[in-house]
């Protein structure tokens, strides 16, 4: 299902969820004289649904999240989050050149503001940049209101320096966590929410070889791969570039190429399904 169709399909889910959130307290009010636990049950269930919709990264209940792209060729989309990083971005760009790979950098606006030359370099090397919010508020983005949500998107967009032939049309939420106002704000700006269906957990695990092996083994045509930069700069500065190098090497040995898909190729379902 492409982005437009996915958006239309998801709208009824969002409306239904909001309707249930309104109906549940009313139902509970009428049931309170019967049994307090029965009265609370509808509200508890609705809150569980809302929490899942917000914190589960690829959940489609609030709106579409692109998880793969349509292709019959051995291709994956490599996405790199949390840059740009002076410690990592130049090395990663050299690695991408070495393997003739293309990637999309989901950048944090504040980092882009502090290191604009790296944004220029990413674009000059033939790669793509995308919106990953201005401050990456992973702890509080789930409860952000419409004003803060819009500010995070727009302040990041100010520093993306997108090229005419490569406009910054994609968005990824911090850690994939959404809020109730995110999809409407993205729709107003014509941005496509991009998730993933393949990650190496490189912000958690500490073995670069096992991270790369996990990605390479599970890669399928149309997979969206997420890796990171800018972490462990003081304690292990070579870690993230090594993860990317081993991943690129393993994908190349498997016959896979890293490409940047067109928006119309994106799908809300997982690759291979």
pLDDT digits (tens, 9 = 90+) for 24-51: 566 666 667 676 666 676 677 777 888 8
This prediction has a pTM of 0.89
Q: Are 92 and 67 in contact (CB under 8 A)?
A: no
Q: Using only C-alpha atoms, what is the Rg of the chain?
A: 20
> Catalytic residue at 228?
yes
Catalytic status, residue 127: no
CATH of domain 68-267: 3.20.20.370
Where would I find the beta strands (DSSP E) of the chain?
A: 68-69, 75-83, 103-107, 128-131, 170-171, 192-193, 198-199, 223-228, 257-258, 266-267
Active-site residue among 81, 111, 127, 183?
A: 81
**Is 93 a residue whose pLDDT tops 50?**
yes
Mean pLDDT value of segment 101-123: 97
Q: Tell me the percentage of the chain whose pLDDT exceeds 90.
A: 75
Report the candidate in 192, 194, 107 with the shortest Cα–Cα distance to residue 158: 107
Say if CB 268 and CB 261 are below 8 A apart: no
When pLDDT is cut at 50, 70 and 90, the band that residue 242 belongs to is: very high
3-state secondary structure of 170: strand
For the stretch 197-229, pLDDT in tens is: 999 999 999 999 999 999 999 999 999 999 999
CA distance 186 to 198: 23
Tens of pLDDT, residues 146-167:
999 999 999 999 999 766 666 7
* Domain parsing of the chain, residue ranges: 3-55, 68-267
Which residue of the set 183, 228, 231, 240 is catalytic?
228
State the sign of the Cα–Cα–Cα–Cα dihedral 206, 210, 212, 218: negative
The pLDDT assigned to 166 comes to 66
Question: Cα–chain-centroid distance for residue 82?
Answer: 11
């Amino acid at each position: 299902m492409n982005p437009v169709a996915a958006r239309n399909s998801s709208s009824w889910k969002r409306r239904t969820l909001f309707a249930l959130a309104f109906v549940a307290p009313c139902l509970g009010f009428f049931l309170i004289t019967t049994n307090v636990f029965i009265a609370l049950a509808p509200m508890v269930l609705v809150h569980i649904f809302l929490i899942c919709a917000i914190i589960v990264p690829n959940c489609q209940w609030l709106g579409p999240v692109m998880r793969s792209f349509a292709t019959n060729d051995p291709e994956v989309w490599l996405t790199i989050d949390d840059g740009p990083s002076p410690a990592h971005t130049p090395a990663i760009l050299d690695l991408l050149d070495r393997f003739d790979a293309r990637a999309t950098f989901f950048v944090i606006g504040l980092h882009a503001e502090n290191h604009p030359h790296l944004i220029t370099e990413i674009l000059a090397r033939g790669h793509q940049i995308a919106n990953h919010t201005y401050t990456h508020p992973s702890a509080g983005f789930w409860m952000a209101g419409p004003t803060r949500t819009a500010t995070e998107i727009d302040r990041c967009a100010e520093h993306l320096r997108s090229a005419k032939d490569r406009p910054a049309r994609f968005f990824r939420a911090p850690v994939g966590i959404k809020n109730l106002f995110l999809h409407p704000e993205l729709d107003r700006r014509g941005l496509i929410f991009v998730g993933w269906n393949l990650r190496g957990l490189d912000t958690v695990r500490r073995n670069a070889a096992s991270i790369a092996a996990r990605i390479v083994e599970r890669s399928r045509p149309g997979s969206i791969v997420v890796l990171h930069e800018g972490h462990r700069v003081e304690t292990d500065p070579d870690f993230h570039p090594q993860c990317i190098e081993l991943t690129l090497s393993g994908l190349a040995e498997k016959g896979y190429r890293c490409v940047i898909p067109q928006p119309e190729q994106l799908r809300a379902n997982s690759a291979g399904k």
